Amino acid sequence: MSTLLVINSSANTGDSVSRTLIDDAVGQFLAAAPGIKVVRRDLGTTPVPHLTTANLAGVRGTPATEEEHSARALSDLLISELRTADTVVIAAPMYNFSVPTSLRSWFDFVLRAGETFKYSEAGPEGLLKGRKVVVLTSRGGLYSEGPGAAADFQEPYLRHLLGFVGITDVTFIHAEKIGYGPDARAAAIASARGQIAKVASTFSTVAA
Ligand SMILES: Cc1cc2nc3c(=O)[nH]c(=O)nc-3n(C[C@H](O)[C@H](O)[C@H](O)COP(=O)(O)O)c2cc1C
């Protein structure tokens, strides 16, 4: 059975644009491929801890303390969720020109040598090839064109991290100008929904 991993990262559970879009995407993916298994990870409501001196060895080192073992167990779980997924959809608001720290922490726990990437003579190699990722961003301003493009540290950063673990089939759908007023917000959501529908229309073959 194909598995869809659904990752939320907005700290807002009220009128979050990225949460609205990811719900829409999951609904459309399920309509296209009703048999898929959906696994959810909500980093906004259940954050992955930041790396500190108390837990670092659990992720990058040899765990010894209870806290380090707990970090290792969480890292193993998050990696297994990603490894098991055929398709991943990530809702990523732009926070301070990049991603929420909750999503950054998720990557800190998921990027582990020997598990999701390895080093060889040829340099780093991602070990999670073959997966498809759809990233739904929500942004107060405009970054896909114009002067704001130079300040987009979100899409390039996510592309690089995903590519580092071998995932290069990545589609970005941006809902931009959310902060420009209700009309701009509604137009951005409608546009993103249209793009989600196009991705979903190909999903039945992806999930087969
Ligand atoms: C902490 C924080 C930082 C933000 N930083 C930016 C930013 O750098 N650029 C931007 O265009 N919008 C920024 N925004 C606006 C959000 O990207 C926008 O409100 C988006 O809709 C949030 O996603 P959500 O609706 O799914 O929560 C920020 C919002 C918050 C809460």
Report the share of the chain in percent with pLDDT over 90: 94
Q: What value does the mean pLDDT take over residues 148-163? A: 98
pLDDT at site 136: 98
154 lines ligand 1 (CB under 6 A): no
pLDDT at site 202: 87
* Minimal-distance CA residue to ligand 1 atom 3: 95
Q: Does 195 score more than 70 pLDDT?
A: yes
CA 100–ligand 1 middle distance (angstroms): 9
For the chain, count helices (H), then strands (E).
Answer: 7, 7
The whole-angstrom separation of Cα 140 and Cα 118 is: 37
The whole-angstrom separation of Cα 61 and Cα 70 is: 13
CA 37–ligand 1 middle distance (angstroms): 30
Q: pTM of the full predicted structure?
A: 0.97
19 lines ligand 1 (CB under 6 A): yes
142 lines ligand 1 (CB under 6 A): no
- Amino acid in the structure at residue 207: A
Domains of the chain by start residue, with CATH: 3-207 (3.40.50.360)
From residue 176, alpha-carbon distances to 65, 77, 116, 148, 180 in Å are 44, 33, 31, 11, 9
Ligand 1 binding pocket mutation candidate from 8, 12, 96, 104 (most atoms within 8 A of CB): 96
Tokens of 49: 């801890």
pLDDT category of residue 205 using cuts at 50, 70 and 90:
low
The whole-angstrom separation of Cα 119 and Cα 99 is: 26
Summarised one tens digit per residue, pLDDT across range 54-108 is 999 999 999 999 999 999 999 999 999 999 999 999 999 999 999 999 999 999 9
CA 95–ligand 1 middle distance (angstroms): 5
Ligand 1 atom showing the smallest separation from residue 91 Cα: 26
100 lines ligand 1 (CB under 6 A): no
pLDDT at site 203: 78
